[in-house]
Amino acid sequence: MTLRAILLASTLATPAVADVNIYTTRQPDLIQPVMDAFTAKTGVAVNLAFVKDGLVERLKAEGARSPADLVMTVDIANLQKIADADVIQPVENDVLTAAVPANLRSPDNLWFGLTKRARIVYASRDRVADGEVTTYEDLSSDKWEGRICTRSGLHNYNLALTSAVIAHVGVESATAWAEGVKSNLARKPEGNDRAQVKAIWAGECDISLGNTYYMGKMLADEEQTAWADSVRIIFPTFEDGGTHVNVSGVAMTKSAPNRDEALQLMEYLVSPAAQAIYAELNSEYPVLEGASPSDLVASWGEFTADDVPLTELAANRAAALRLMEVVDFDG
| Class of CATH domain 118-243+306-326 | alpha beta
**Percent of the chain as helix, strand, coil, to the nearest 5:** 45, 20, 35
Asked whether 293 and 54 are in contact (CB, 8 A), the reply is no
User: Cα–Cα distance between 307 and 101 in angstroms, integer?
Assistant: 10
User: pLDDT tens digit string along 35-81?
Assistant: 999 999 999 999 999 999 999 999 999 999 999 999 999 999 999 99
User: pLDDT tens digit string along 178-202?
Assistant: 999 999 999 999 999 999 999 999 9
Instruction: Say whether pTM exceeds 0.95.
Output: no
Ordered by start, the domain boundaries in the chain are 13-116+245-291, 118-243+306-326
Asked whether 186 and 124 are in contact (CB, 8 A), the reply is no
Question: Do the domains at 13-116+245-291 and 118-243+306-326 have one common CATH topology?
Answer: yes
3-state secondary structure of 66: coil
Total H helices, total E strands in the chain: 14, 10
- Architecture category of domain 13-116+245-291 in CATH: 3-Layer(aba) Sandwich (3.40)
User: pLDDT tens digit string along 136-179?
Assistant: 999 999 999 999 999 999 999 999 999 999 999 999 999 999 99
